[in-house]
Structure 1
């Protein structure tokens, strides 16, 4: 009898525990119903040989016998056709992504890559009506675009504040993956402020929400029913979801959208510097207790930073009171700063903290053309040293290609395996501009610096690699 009572009690407690657990899980049904009408499907048409390239999703690695290939052919066309087999003069319609209403008079927010290069844009609403849309403006740097359709009293989303988002928070995504309209997925925020290659001005929200081709441009919604991001990219080796999704924070996207609506383009703040993360090894060479901030690797002439006397090797610790955990934290802060406004920077220079005031400039519209990696064509004299490096001088042509002044830098001609230079990450073609605290004029001057520097300690080396600059740490033997 006692065993029976005990068993019944255990079952009741287990049922109660499961009920309590279920009650703590979020219910997204109301949010899905509320925001379904606010989300739209976006397709495009292209003419006269205009061929869309899906750069954000890699379909080439999907096995040919996979069911996903059928989906891709159904919604994106057969990507395996040879160019001469296609009739590119006919209009082509492909379901590309999603968007959502932010103003009741038909303004829709979406991704730049969803509508870029389109000759015609077709928007399909929740009630299956179709509208021709026009681009009000688009911004590649933030992957944001504002389009408009002729509609009144559109069901708009409620805009939240992405600054209040926390890691671990539940979020909901609505979009059209592979053309399946108004699909709803959920997950949590995995990380904040993620920097991605070539996307310096966006501190991405990373989530584990299932995002696939066609979700791009759709809203990311919190449990309070407010949009806190635009689903933008995934990291994938197969073309499908792998647990890594990235969204543009809504605060940044709305700032861009307002500028696009008012002016058709976006203006950003600019300092005129190149930066990199402070690694643990760099922090030690700079006399820092912990790696933080952004180290300056280049200051452009006549830029706001140059006028404020910011120097190479300065470590920027904060911008207008915002502490910088990594270098990726700085570009979004500068980019959203009002032009001609004075910003306050705290920097570390030669182990001493100081405050610098910079008048924010306007980011140039055109990026600098990529520089070529230096190559030895004339076979000049090569100097070797104890670091496992073979060095030579730059030719005048190479200096012109790299934008360097006369008597500036030495080229790495060879790197000995397992040497100090190899361990530090130096490569053939790198141009060494600074060694420890001194600028490098040529191969001979660098050789003298290497010989005169005591061993058994780390040394920071500034390198130009193509169009980029970075500090490496050499452990002297």
Structure 2
């Protein structure tokens, strides 16, 4: 196998690209959408009118419209299993996989994990060239990485860069732990592999931070170590069953750490324990600070759901806590997480003042989502962006759909308004956008009190 010392600067990535090209696939999806069933606004006929029945019959028989999208995937087994992002294939009626040699295969979605944004596909094929999965934990900031994908439908595009950071939290979901890279990642790269210099997959390219919708030198990939168990479970069962403690968590601020007599701000504060949950039964209390799981240190709250998710329901987990200034270990038999629940970060703020983003938004409905080719089903659609205001400076554009802010789902205009009202002037908002079906990450810097805007 072609290899290169991890700390060496390569002369070329040509051998790596050639060796992995057959393992990277182009994914195209088709979603059929029915047109609106009701009469247009302003139209109406007396009840029982023959015109009413005529127009209703006409609208019912309108043909379906097709929405198409592109993404990338990579082969993990010779018999046709392929990994990609969930958002690439979510709600698709047809998934077509195109190999490097031009052959095309209808794919079946074996299962998907929306929270981690991973999906597993299967095509009828044999003797495919599979990738080798590496160890994302061994990555270091500054290591060389290579992305291969199909940006904008341009097949087998190879880009290179370095690991810019690890453990990034961008508000995508409860299991944020992204690898940040400056290797060019553009729309269409979603679901593609991120390789180390040994030609091993160490990440799944997922999102970009962009003001224009294209590469801006900041891309994000799911660490392959986080995805391995998910892919295995999807392959075995077709679905994901996660474990949970049953606690709400938040990061420690300076004042809380001081009040609890802690030496530092490391750990996850538990402001609430759900009644009857695994944590409650084991004796974890509100006010405890969780500092480790099975001896592995927890420095920030977002790390806790990731560590717990490694376990299966029924596993016994050793939870290290600090209570009343004393360290102790509690054994918790973790329970299954309901599909609609996640271990959440509780945001504590009494700030109710209004902030000006420079946006006009409206509730997302089925018709608007179809017009915008959005994959998400809930959120707020951006109608207007005021030049020079925070949203415009962040690159948010008319037609974007905002569906998550700082890790909190935004399902309606009411929730959007309530979420925004929590933030103080000067805060930074991590915003997840759907831009024509692509997942885009943006940072909105709220104006400080002294700013003119």
Q: Does residue 37 of structure 1 match 2:22?
A: yes
Residue of structure 2 in register with 1:309 after alignment: 283
SS state at 2:177 partner: strand
Residue of structure 1 in register with 2:351 after alignment: 427
**Retained in 1: the 8 A contact 2:270–2:285?**
yes
**Retained in 2: the 8 A contact 1:207–1:246?**
yes
Q: State how far apart, in whole Å, the 2-side matches of 1:224 and 1:124 are.
A: 25
- Count residues in correspondence: 323
Q: Matches of residues 45-56 of structure 1 in structure 2 within 5 Å?
A: 45-49=30-34
Residue of structure 1 in register with 2:274 after alignment: 300
When you count helix as a share of all residues, which structure comes out higher?
1
Q: Does residue 339 of structure 1 match 2:313?
A: yes
Question: What's the CA shift for 1:236?
Answer: 1.8
Q: 1:200 aligns with which of 166, 171, 174?
A: 174
Q: State how far apart, in whole Å, the 2-side matches of 1:142 and 1:187 are.
A: 24
Residue of structure 1 in register with 2:141 after alignment: 167
* Superposed CA RMSD: 2.5
Q: 1:230 aligns with which of 200, 204, 207?
A: 204
Residue of structure 2 in register with 1:93 after alignment: 68
Q: Matches of residues 23-172 of structure 1 in structure 2 within 5 Å?
A: 24-49=9-34, 89-94=64-69, 96-172=70-146
Residue of structure 2 in register with 1:399 after alignment: none
**Retained in 2: the 8 A contact 1:47–1:88?**
no
SS state at 2:91 partner: coil
TM-score scaled by length of structure 2: 0.67
Q: State how far apart, in whole Å, the 2-side matches of 1:359 and 1:333 are.
A: 14
1:404-423 per-residue CA deviation (whole Å, 9 max, x = no partner) reads xxxxxxxxxxxxxxxxxxxx
TM-score scaled by length of structure 1: 0.64
Q: State how far apart, in whole Å, the 2-side matches of 1:262 and 1:250 are.
A: 18
Task: Mark the runs of 5 or more structure 1 residues left unpaired by the alignment.
Answer: 1-22, 52-83, 371-423, 430-464, 473-477
Q: State how far apart, in whole Å, the 1-side matches of 2:255 and 2:181 are.
A: 30
Q: Given the superposition, is the C-alpha separation of residues 299 and 339 from structure 1 closer, same or farther in structure 2, using an over 3 Å criterion?
A: same
Q: Does residue 349 of structure 1 match 2:273?
A: no
1:109-146 per-residue CA deviation (whole Å, 9 max, x = no partner) reads 00000000111011111011111111011110110000
Q: Given the superposition, is the C-alpha separation of residues 26 and 271 from structure 1 closer, same or farther in structure 2, using an over 3 Å criterion?
A: farther
Which is greater in Rg?
Answer: 1
**Retained in 1: the 8 A contact 2:111–2:239?**
yes
**Retained in 1: the 8 A contact 2:260–2:325?**
yes
Question: What's the CA shift for 1:329?
Answer: 1.1
Question: What's the CA shift for 1:425?
Answer: 4.9
